[in-house]
Structure 1
Amino acid sequence: MATHDINLNDDINNFKHEAAHAERSRLHLAALKGDWNSIEDMPNIQREITKKRETTLHIAAAANHEEFVKNLVEGMSSDDITAENTVGSTALAYAAATGNVNIAKAMLKKNTDLPNLGSGMKPLFMAALLEHYQMVEHLSRSTKTWEWDIGDQTELFVTYARVGYYGKALEMMKANSNLATAKNRFNDTALHVLARKHSAFVSGSQQGILRRHINSWMKLKQDSKQIQAHELVKEICVRAYKYDVESLSENQELSQSLFVAAEVGNVEFLIELIRFDLELALKTDQTNRSIFHIAVKERHESIFNLLHEIGSFKDLIVENITNGGNNMLHLAAKLAPQHKLNAISGAALQLQQELLWFKEVEKVVKSSLKEMKNEAGETPYVLLATMHEELRKDGESWMRNTANSSMVVATLICSIIFAGQPTDGIKHSSENSNLELAFSVSSAIALFCSSTSLIMFLSILTSRYSYNDFLVSLPIKLMIGVASLFISIASMIVAFCASFNLKYHNHQGFPLMAVVFGIFSCVPILYVLLKYRLLFDIVRSTCFSSSLFKPRHRLLY
């Protein structure tokens, strides 16, 4: 009898466990789908339904089902909504992860202190980490960050700097100056993070050539976010390092940030640091490289141009010899970083940019350094030839292939125009005089331009392909050849249109023929559209690149 009762109790317990599991699965599925109607009659809807102790509200908030959450919260108490999972996160942290402000508002309406509860990641930090700015703006009003321990405050402060919420970072630092030098779990200060974020500042070395000219001509204003980034750097420097500068003390944090910014090309950040402490311009790293040596190595022309603004100190900096016995011209002779080369079309134009850099650095170094050998026994000129020989061969191949393919098109155009006789059998009259003139002029332009293009491409094919040829001669020939080819294509189409109109304008089916002709005449234009980028890159590289080393105004002072 006793055995029978024990078995009965076990069956009852098993049944209860299965029923509870079925209810949890039902709630879990409904929360994931946002299906409130399927569970609204169930008792105790807000309960733990996962192994991580996540409640129905956790799942619904994570699944971003706004109406489901509102219906669920409506029947909950202010204490029920504070439930935490195994890592101490409330459902508001899940809502912060989705960025849905309406869900957060519904929860805060039930418990206004919810942003400050939970032993795990705070909702505000979650929203900042995932870059949900509207959620950050909303939660920051009710989050008491000043009550957090310094570690949590630092994580939030550095995160603000990393994701670009500079205004929020400024507010935190003004409330707690210790954050200026505090380090997060990755051993980064906010200044280190800002040093790597060249995109946070206005110019930076990553802007395109034409963009920099347009910005200079139009004098575009900085937006509020960029102004805040500048202000944040200034505030950090003043609050954290002012005493060190005034007492002439060394500060490794500033120096480390300086060289990090130089590596990534963050020129605006560097300017702020150098204005704060002028001696930073003369600092060298562990390999005896100044920021200008780094700029040459990484090909950041905007930083290199600052060398001309520091007066006679320029000569002292240029004299620095880095590890390996390399001077600044040796660094210019080395191959540029691959991402810099990839930003330039074609091996020939890449080599042109490399030679331009070498020539610019050559202007600032003393004659004794030009013939100096490094520890490997190489002068800058020998090193340049050694490091760029493969690129020179690729440039030669690229030039030949471009010239050969373009010359075929130029030859066809020249042959078509030269052999064309559109006026045979046509009676000349005053009505057709304009069309005849248009045909004659366009045919002449097409013939002359295609001939010019042929000469330029032949000249390229017979070139010596020396390094000096890649600097000016070859790019100009290619630019003239491609531009002439485009003009000849356009002139050929005009000539053909005029010829077609002269012959068939009185034909009964002329309107239909004109439509068909117009469609097929787009085929030569397609070639121009496919190749226009080539001409654009050649013009940009040849005509604008040298001006990169001639800034229109001073940046430091």
Structure 2
Amino acid sequence: MASGPPNPPPHLSLPREDLYIHASSTNVSSFVSMKLSGHDNYDHWKAQMLCLMETHNMCGLVDPRFDRSLSTEIMKQHDDLLKGWIFDSVSHGVLGTVADLDSAKLVWNKLKALYDSTICFQQDLAQEKQEEKEEIKDKGISTETDSKGKDIVSEEKEVKGKGISTETDSKGNDSVSEERKTKKDQSVIDVEDPRRMYSKPPPLTPKEKVKQREDAHKSLEKDTLKGFWWGVHNTLVSHNIPLQEEINNERNTVLHLAVEKGHNNFVKSLLGYQKEDEIKEALEIRNVDGSTALHVAAILGNTNVAQLLLEKHNELLTTLGKQEKHNELLTILDHEGRDPLFKAYSSMQFETCIYLLTAVKNKQNSTIPSSFMTTGVDLLVNAISAKKYSIALNFVKQFPEFARENDQVLMAIARSFPSGLSHEETVRRYEDLGEVGMLILRTIVWSFSEFTLRWCQEGEFGRCHGISRIDEVPLRLVQWVYQFIFFLMSIVFLPLFMIHLLLREGAIKLVSYMNRIKKKEWGEAKEVLKLVCDGIKTLKVVGTHHPYYKGPLLEAACQNAYEVVNEILSKSPQALRCKDEYGHDIIQLAVIHRSDKIYNRVYQSEEGKSQYYRTIRDPLDNNMLHLAGRLAPSHELNRITGAALQLQRELQWREELKKFVFPSYITQENKCKKTPGEVFTKEHEDLVKEGEKWMKTTAESCSITAGLITTIVFAASITVPGGSNQEKGVPLFTHEIAFIIFAISDAISLFTSTITLLVFLSILTARFSEQDFLVSLPRRLIIGLCALLVSTTAMIVAFGAILFLVFCHQRPWMLIPICASVCLTVVFFFIIQFPLIIDLYRSTYVPIFVKRGNSQESRFTLDNFVSEFFFFE
């Protein structure tokens, strides 16, 4: 059953005058979901707009094939409405091309001509044909001859075709005739259809070309950041992109990004594949910050890339015949007016700065321009302040003019010289640990060889419990105590010795590596100091000494930089009399800042022993004792352990200067009517309180520990392990060696803990006057800590012996874990407490000043310490 035509939309049945009212209320976005922006979305936009126009019967406004039987007034209304729809559905850029047109039809046709790909292709084709015709006309070929030739060729083809067709018909081969006819028709179609005559794709529109270029830039940026050279190479070649072209919003080129990511080989390949003029332009082009690729390399400190860029630029200039412009990359400024050298300096890239300065020097015929002198001096000062002495050494060797430009370089050396790391300390610091071990081992071996081994050979040890004469008791008691002391020493030493054997190789490698680093740093700093002083010495001097020596010498005295002072005084001995703005010379500054090495250096000199320094005063009439009465700087006090030892060091300075000045100066007043003693008391009032608090806190803690040990070992001594004989009351384990060890260890622990308790009680009841902190209180603290160390060790040994005796009968293998636990505990206690004992001993008994009548500084040696302690010759 045939179906009729579809019913029209309901609104089309309305009167014609009401159609405009209905169309004007239409929501265009319901039909057209996109805005026309170019060739990419024109087809979709056109389809949606046609659907909208068909819905409201407006297609006749743009296409005459549709009905237009409306009045002129209604047509005008609909035309304006349709033009408004089109304007509302295009982008801002497209609207600018059609906004001045009068009718919707003109707007529609203009958009179709601009963005319809079929029309654009036909226009391009017609343009190509016109160009071909003009080219043929230029060659002298007439159009008439060309048309005749075409007619002749066409007739010959037609006759040949007819002949073939006739011959085929005569043979009666209808199928072949059909096939050839089809081919002929197809050839005619191919000739008539121009799209089939051209196999190449349609050319890109300008916006498509822009988008394609943007995609290529994104691909270049991505591959460059990854360091993928072949991907970048293919993109550059396929899209014919020059090396100097910007590829992102920051106006960076491929070269900028490659240098920023540190792809050195990538940069090398990039500079070698394109034309020389393009490479030169790429090297000089600047990004949004005004930075060239050399700026970027300087900021990152990539010296290899900086060298590569500069050498390549100079090579291109040589090729182009512009040798006079060599190294002009160094003079290109960014938007802030900074050259690559300043960028490297701002980033503290010292090695890159050295290379760029060398390039500047080569450009200026081995001279540094005055504009670069300040930058060079600042670079050298910063390298020294950062303790990069190897770089500073290269600076001074290559650019000696920086070192003698002013006194800033020598001042930086005085402030940062590794004064706390002298050569002798770095060499001896770790060797002393080996000396300690060898001396203790020698002591133990000697003791056992003299006593224990000889007794075992004579059989005395086995009969020690059977004493036949009463007068042998004291002698045997002394022998037992002496033996046991060295037995405890062996218990302490053997674990340390085993750990030393286990970790010896690693420790030697680590310590030797650290030692080499410190010695190398000290040696480089010393060489830099010598070169700088030599450079200053070459300058002409007006006066007794060079003015560049004054400030650094006084600063070195404040920093306790012995090597700096010694080097300067060796070059200019007259600089010893220099004074600062407060009227203090070098020895006064050494006293104020507690620079013991500088004080000893001046004291050893001939002028230091003269009357001048013994009677010297500052503008406020302060003599040397007044200056020593001032509180030391905080950084000097913080180097010493505990407030008590800090006060002890201050007292040592006062006692030393009492021997240095005249006796009458001890009670002499300054302009403030204060004696040196009054100044010292006033300045150190808080330190005395802190020292008293530190001493009491330490004594209280150790007293509690000693009291606990006393209680434990006393209870263990009256509670006999294993019980006693009911008839005689003799302990059952009397003849066991482990029981004898327990008894002796327990007794020693009890006695030493009691001594410890009494010593620390004497500290708690002391007066805590200033003079007590010099020797009395530190000496008591040393005795108390040593006694506590012995008592703790003896208690652990007693516990291990009785543990083996009671629980490990007939199981000798259990002796190994018990001994290991005992040794571990003792070693742990030694690690914690022994450094404090060493600090106390060094601070109390090791002098820091030169001995009177001796030009050599007195130093603490372990041989002297052990010889004095153990009475060895």
Query: For this structure pair, what is the TM-score category when the shorter chain's length is used for normalisation?
Result: 0.7 to 0.9
1:446 is matched with which residue? 749
Whether 2:560 is the aligned partner of 1:261: answer no
Q: Which among 595, 618, 627 is matched to residue 300 of structure 1?
A: 595
After superposition, the Cα gap between the structure-2 partners of 1:106 and 1:211, relative to the gap in structure 1 and judged at 3 Å, is closer
* Alpha-carbon distance change, 255 to 102 in structure 1, aligned in 2, over 3 angstroms: closer
For residue 152 of structure 1, what is the aligned residue in structure 2? 372
**1:189 CA displacement:** 3.3
**2:616 corresponds to which residue?**
320
Query: TM-score w.r.t. structure 2 length?
Result: 0.53
Question: What is the aligned counterpart of 2:653 among 353, 357, 361?
Answer: 357
Task: Mark the CA change 1:530 to 1:373 in structure 2 (over 3 Å): closer, same or farther.
Answer: same
Amino acid of the residue matched to residue 848 of structure 2?
S
Of residues 564, 568, 574, the one that matches 1:279 is 574
Q: CA deviation at 1:346?
A: 1.2
- Are 1:73 and 1:106, in contact at CA under 8 Å, matched by a contact in 2? no
Query: 1:118 maps to what in 2?
Result: 330
CA contact (8 A) 1:88 1:118 kept: no
Equivalent residues of 1:166, 1:228 under 8 A apart: no
Specify the SS of the correspondent of 1:117. helix
Compare relative contact order (CA 8 Å, sep 6+) and give the higher one, 1 or 2.
1
Shift of 1:265: 2.1
1:28-66 Cα distance to aligned partner (Å, 9 max, x none):
677666677886636456545688765443344344455
Instruction: Tell me which residue corresponds to 2:784.
Output: 481
- 2:410 is matched with which residue? 191
Distance 1:330 1:315 in 2: 18
TM-aligned CA deviation for residue 205 of structure 1: 4.8
Which of 816, 820, 841 is equivalent to 1:539?
841
What is the DSSP-based 3-state SS (H/G/I as helix, E as strand, rest coil) of the residue aligned with 2:330? coil
Give the Cα separation in 1 of the matches to 2:345 and 2:357: 10
1:326 deviates by 1.7
Q: Does 1:58 align with 2:256?
A: yes
* Partner AA of 1:189 in structure 2: Q
Relative to structure 1, is the Cα distance of residues 488 and 84 closer, same or farther in structure 2, using a 3 angstrom cutoff?
A: farther
1:169 counterpart residue number: 395
Equivalent residue number for residue 604 of structure 2: 309
Secondary structure in structure 2 of the residue aligned to 1:308: helix
Alignment of 1:182 with 2:405, yes or no, is yes
Describe the superposition over 1:464-485 as per-residue Cα deviations: whole angstroms up to 9, x where unpaired: 0011100111111111111221
Shift of 1:150: 2.6
Tell me how far apart the structure 2 counterparts of residues 212 and 115 of structure 1 sit (CA, whole Å): 47
Q: Name the residue aligned to 1:386.
A: 682
248-257 or 16-25: bigger deviation: 16-25
Deviates more, 1:484-493 or 1:293-302: 484-493
For residue 231 of structure 1, the aligned residue among 524, 527, 530 is 530
Q: Deviations over 1:470-511 (max 9, x none)?
A: 011111111111122122222211111111011111378x97
Give 1:142 shift: 5.9
For 1:264 and 1:350, the matched residues in 2 are separated by 18
Query: Of the candidates 403, 423, 431, which is equivalent to residue 721 of structure 2?
Result: 423
- Asked whether the 8 Å contact 2:404–2:532 carries over to 1, the reply is no
Distance 1:215 1:297 in 2: 32
Change (3 A) 1:287 1:232: same
Aligned equivalents of 2:643 and 2:208: distance in 1? 75
Q: Helix, strand or coil for the counterpart of 2:848?
A: helix
In the alignment, what sits opposite 1:81? Answer: 283
Unaligned runs of 5+ in 2: 1-82, 84-91, 100-204, 316-325, 384-388, 436-514, 724-730, 858-873
Deviations for 1:286-330, whole angstroms, at most 9, x for unmatched residues?
A: 221111111111111100112222225542134232233322211
Letter in 1 for 2:375: E
| Aligned residues of 2:804 and 2:815 also touching (Cα < 8 A) | no
Native 8 Å contact 2:360 2:368 kept in 1: no
Deviations for 1:107-145, whole angstroms, at most 9, x for unmatched residues?
467456797732256667766776667667777776645
Give 1:82 shift: 4.2
| Structure 1 position 375 matched with structure 2 position 671 | yes
The 2-side partners of 1:448 and 1:154 are apart by 72
Q: Matches of 1:422 and 1:49 in 2, distance apart?
A: 93
CA 173–68 in structure 1, closer or farther in 2 if over 3 Å, else same = closer
Q: Deviations over 1:161-197 (max 9, x none)?
A: 54223432333345x5xx44424xxxx6322322323
Counterparts of 2:595 and 2:246 in 1: how far apart (Å)?
A: 56
Output the CA distance in 1 between the equivalents of 2:631 and 2:764. Answer: 26
- Give 2:527's aligned amino acid: Q
Residue 9 of structure 1, CA deviation: 11
Moved more, 135-144 or 287-296: 135-144
Instruction: Report the Cα distance in structure 2 between the residues aligned to 1:64 and 1:109, rounded to whole angstroms.
Output: 18
> 1:329·1:362 contact (CA, 8 Å) conserved in 2?
yes
TM-score, normalised relative to structure 1:
0.80
Give the RMSD, CA atoms, in angstroms. Answer: 4.4
1:275 to partner: Cα distance: 1.2
AA in 1 matched with 2:395: A
CA apart distance, 1:395: 0.6
Deviation at 1:24, TM superposition (A): 7.0
- Cα distance in 1 between the residues matched to 2:713 and 2:537: 72
User: 1:354/1:27 Cα in 2 relative to 1: closer, same or farther (>3 Å)?
Assistant: farther
Distance between the aligned counterparts of 1:15 and 1:534, measured in 2?
Answer: 81
Say which SS state the counterpart of residue 669 (structure 2) adopts: coil
Q: Which moved more, 1:158-167 or 1:321-330?
A: 158-167
Q: Which amino acid aligns with 1:490?
A: T
Query: Using the alignment, how far apart are the partners of 1:216 and 1:329 within structure 2?
Result: 38
CA-to-partner distance for each residue in 1:200-227, whole Å, 9 max, x for gaps?
A: xxxx256699769759999997765134
8 Å Cα contact 2:590-2:596 kept in structure 1: yes
Decide whether the 8 Å contact of 1:360 with 1:549 is kept in 2: no
Q: Which runs of 5+ in 1 are unaligned?
A: none
Measured after TM superposition, the shift of residue 75 of structure 1 is 4.4
Q: Is the 8 A contact 2:544 2:574 kept in 1?
A: no
Distance 1:527 1:442 in 2: 17
* Structure 2 CA distance for aligned equivalents of residues 116 and 416 of structure 1: 86
SS in structure 2 at match of 1:118: helix
Q: Does 1:467 align with 2:770?
A: yes
**Following the alignment from structure 2 to structure 1, what is the Cα–Cα distance between the partners of residues 231 and 821?**
60
Please, which of 626, 648, 658 is the counterpart of residue 330 of structure 1? 626
SS in 2 for 1:536: helix
Cα distance between partner residues in 1 of 2:221 and 2:525: 45
For 1:475 and 1:238, the matched residues in 2 are separated by 49
Deviates more, 1:300-309 or 1:57-66: 57-66
Against the structure 1 CA distance between its residues 448 and 429, is the aligned structure 2 distance closer, same or farther, given a 3 Å change threshold?
Answer: closer
State how far apart, in whole Å, the 2-side matches of 1:249 and 1:54 are: 59
Q: Which residue of 2 aligns with 1:94?
A: 296
Q: Is the 8 A contact 1:349 1:538 kept in 2?
A: yes
User: Partner of 1:547: helix, strand, or coil?
Assistant: coil
What is the identity percentage for the equivalent residue pairs of Structure 1 and Structure 2? 28
